[in-house]
Structure 1
Amino acid sequence: MKFLLDFENAELWGSTDTNVQVCVLVNTFNHEKYIEQCLNSIVTQNVNFSFKVIVHDDNSNDSTRDILLTFYKAYPDIFLLILERENQWEKGISNLAMLLPWIESEYVALCEGDDYWNSNDKLQVQQELLSSNRDISLSCHAVEILNEREDENYALGLRNALANFPIQDPELTLGRGNFIMTCSVMLRNNIIERSYLAGIHSLLPVDWLIFAALAEGGRINYSPNVMATYRIHESSAWSSEDPGIRLARSVQTHWYLAGGLRGSVGEEARVFLRQRTNKPRSRFRWLRKYLQSF
């Protein structure tokens, strides 16, 4: 292992050996209504390589843990459960940024506990793509949006996601905003500097920060095939957030990208911040003097 995590406040079920071809990382909290569908979509994958499912439960207080233990008992060889005794998110600890450097697999796939995959070949397709193209650091694809609030579902592709951005280069676009859905991702592991991950706070959109760093280490490959479903529901943290708070987080995120990434993606974030702060009525005029340091 590359470094030791503090698991003193967590209950572990399964082997901590992550030296397999692919690790699937699932973060969950109070997902009793959704986690079974999520995990079923993972264990039914058709693959010709070894993979492990690492589920991090952030101290759920519903029946999520009972469901997780049922899966562990059915598939003890592929599951590792990390069951927190205290909520880490509330402490500002990013579960994704914390776990990534610890995982030893060559590739890491992501799926939140309230999302699921709808293609049994998803892992195989993405693993073959990354294995055959060493210059690709991240594979993603179109997803289905299941909006339980408005009882609708629709496909979200790259064209929709990039509609609000003035550039079409997917790597550079990550310096301005995130168009990648977490449940669609398989990434090449161990190419992000540990110091960058260590500084990520849970209050920021962690997945976006990680995807942007991966874009500086290689190409982003997008597939129009819909192979996963992203769920919007009443408990969805980001989808239910106050727009003002969301805007503030966006500024914080661009600031982190601008200061933490020195390549083309970081430069795009710096350009984006300058453009925003130079508008006559910008709410971010106070940032101008600080941007001179970039």
Structure 2
Amino acid sequence: MSNNPLISIITPTYNHSKSIETCIDSVLAQDYPNWEQIIIDDGSTDNTADIISEFDDKRIVYIKQHNTGILNLNKTYNKALDLSKGEYIAVLEGDDYWPDHKLGEQIKAFKNPGTVLSWGNAQIVDGEGNPERLFHEPGSYPAISRTTEILDRLLLKNFIPACTVLCRKKSLLEIEGFKQPPKSPYVDYSTWLNLSTLGDFHYTDDVMGYWRHHRGQATLKNAFDMIKSDMDYSIEFFNNLPADRKELLSVNLEQIRKAKNNDLMEVYFKLGRKSLHQKEWAKSREYFKKSLHGSGTIKFYTSICILCSFLRIDFEKLISVFNKTHVDDLISD
């Protein structure tokens, strides 16, 4: 690996006038100088384009296209991938941003020729950039995960924040670019799954990206579509694995189904919480009856919420004492 290989940063954006400046500023502030940022604007109707035009740096490439929509996000990503000149690809969507040492720190992982992807922890922030919580508790993952280990984990859950990812371009090309299953609004999970079959993933136990969480960002329809899409894709992916690779895995089809089903129960739990907060006592219990089929903490908190519904107590007021996230920040109608 050369001392400072070119890193191509893929930045899809749509109506990010309130955040795109912070996004680009965080790239310009990198202590690693050899990068290009390819910004693909999916037909923004606000003044995103005007803000981007104010940046005078030849490393920033701006392309505006006709709106293709969130369900064609892979086409936007792969368009940028085709235009990229770098040996490595970083992901930074238009409403996220980075710490200034991100690229310089993560490029070190690729001194190991077996490393396919580098990722790190993320700081979740609100629409104004105020910190909410970390994506993962510090120390949650080992520095290096071998291909079988990372695949075991990913088949059960997507735990890699996209804004922290840096990967080899040749590996992305080997899997034929970014993947997006039908009805999924994301490209990350399916892409990470495919990359995990090619080599090691390197984790940096530090904040490598700031993920902006907007109040009520996850809609009911998106939540169900995403989980169903994840479930279908992970099962299909597992079934299509060669027999010898399956034998090396610790997870099986039943465990994958159970994990995805628990994600679905979490959505029902959030919907129940929302109904409970709106004093729709009977309606909340209908959702909670479904989330009772979840496991672990979901089942435990569901039981408490059912009791709250009979006592007509707002669960959100109870959890506010413990600084837990309010349901309105988790899901909208």
> TM-score with structure 1 length normalisation?
0.71
Does the 8 Å CA contact 1:157/1:224 hold for their aligned counterparts?
no
Counterparts of 1:124 and 1:278 in 2: how far apart (Å)? 39
Q: Does 1:133 align with 2:112?
A: yes
Counterparts of 2:243 and 2:136 in 1: how far apart (Å)? 27
**Which consecutive unaligned segments of at least 5 residues does structure 2 have?**
142-147, 265-333
Corresponding residue of 2:42: 58
Decide which of 240, 248, 273 is 2:228's aligned counterpart: 248
Q: Does 1:191 align with 2:145?
A: no
Q: Does 1:24 align with 2:24?
A: no
Q: Which has the higher helix share?
A: 2
Letter in 1 for 2:225: I
Letter in 1 for 2:157: G
Does the 8 Å CA contact 2:7/2:90 hold for their aligned counterparts?
yes
1:173-223 CA deviation, whole Å, 9 max, x = no partner? 122221100111111111245665476346333111111222111111111
Bigger CA drift: 226-235 or 258-267? 258-267
Q: Does 1:95 align with 2:76?
A: yes
Letter in 2 for 1:145: I
Does the 8 Å CA contact 2:178/2:187 hold for their aligned counterparts?
no
Q: Which has the higher contact order (CA 8 A, sep 6+)?
A: 1
1:242-281 CA deviation, whole Å, 9 max, x = no partner? 34333212223214533565488878999554445599x9
Counterparts of 1:258 and 1:70 in 2: how far apart (Å)? 47
Does the 8 Å CA contact 1:146/1:231 hold for their aligned counterparts?
yes
Which SS does the other structure have where 2:193 is aligned?
helix
Counterparts of 2:134 and 2:178 in 1: how far apart (Å)? 34
1:43-65 CA deviation, whole Å, 9 max, x = no partner? 111125x2100001111111111
Corresponding residue of 2:202: 221
Q: 1:198 to 1:159 in 2, by over 3 A?
A: closer
Q: 1:255 to 1:270 in 2, by over 3 A?
A: farther
Counterparts of 1:107 and 1:233 in 2: how far apart (Å)? 29
**Which consecutive unaligned segments of at least 5 residues does structure 1 have?**
1-19, 163-167, 285-294
**Following superposition of structure 1 onto structure 2, how do residues 94-113 of structure 1 map, counting pairs within 5 Å?**
94-113=75-94
Q: Does 1:121 align with 2:101?
A: yes
Which SS does the other structure have where 2:125 is aligned?
strand
Which SS does the other structure have where 2:67 is aligned?
coil
1:93-140 CA deviation, whole Å, 9 max, x = no partner? 5422443355341101111111111x212111112221x111111111
Which SS does the other structure have where 1:179 is aligned?
coil
Residue identity over aligned pairs, in percent, reads: 23
Decide which of 17, 26, 47 is 2:32's aligned counterpart: 47
Decide which of 157, 161, 165 is 1:181's aligned counterpart: 161
CA drift at 1:159 = 6.3
- Pair member with larger Rg: 2
Q: 1:28 to 1:220 in 2, by over 3 A?
A: same
